[in-house]
Structure 1
Amino acid sequence: MTILCEGQHLFVAELSYLAPMAEVDALLEPHRAFLREQYAAGRFLASGAKVPRDGGVIIAIGTERAEIEALFRLDPFQIAGVAQYRVIEFNPTMVAQGLR
């Protein structure tokens, strides 16, 4: 099983909440629908809340940083201004056995 095809990179996106939790929670279902769409499209590998819950983390696959940043601008959290993203791109040089 390989996680990356030729030309693909991994991205770690850190979300930081900018609004009170009540505002974040009000958008949780639209945010999760966005996540489900991206998983179905094969763009996301993992996601979840940070501990403590002041944001979240998403691991994504893409070919260009600009593509991933544009994708995250479609997140209802980003659209409503309740969260901001910090995107880190990396090329794994080592992976767990079975992932390459």
Structure 2
Amino acid sequence: MFVITLSYLVAIDRIDEAMDAHREWLDGQYEDGVFLASGAQVPRTGGIILAAGLERPELEARLALDPFRQKGLAAYTIVEFEPRKVAPGLERLQS
């Protein structure tokens, strides 16, 4: 499982201009079953994505296609971890 942190590198108006394309890209990742959750940080300085079901190189290749990355709007930090304990109903997240 991965926790991806996006940190915005530009003013929020530039982020907003690219948001539709970013959301379309997110939709594709959800359709493929690799993204589990995503959303804006509070305060809105970036975003968080939870991903599972793929290896790190594939995740990095997918992130490279995010319009935010392609336009230099955000930096990405990837943290990989193995869930050892999960809430009821989330057992599929365990390796």
Which of 45, 52, 70 matches 1:61?
52
Distance 1:45 1:87 in 2: 15
Q: Percent identity?
A: 51
Identify the residue that residue 12 of structure 1 maps to in structure 2.
3
The gaps in structure 1 that reach 5 residues or longer are 1-9
Alignment pair present for 1:70 and 2:61: yes
Runs of 4+ in 1 over 6 A off after TM superposition: none
* Count of aligned residue pairs for this structure pair: 91
Letter in 2 for 1:35: L
Query: Which runs of 5 or more structure 2 residues have no equivalent in the other structure?
Result: none
Q: CA deviation at 1:62?
A: 3.2
Other-structure match for 1:27: 18
2:27 alignment partner in structure 1 = 36
More helix by share: 2
Give the whole-Å Cα distance in 2 for the aligned partners of 1:55 and 1:99.
26
* Contact 1:11 1:62 survives alignment (8 Å): no
Other structure's SS at 1:22 match: helix
Report the AA paired with residue 98 of structure 1. G
Contact kept? 2:34, 2:54, Cα under 8 Å = no
Q: TM-score, normalised by structure 2?
A: 0.92
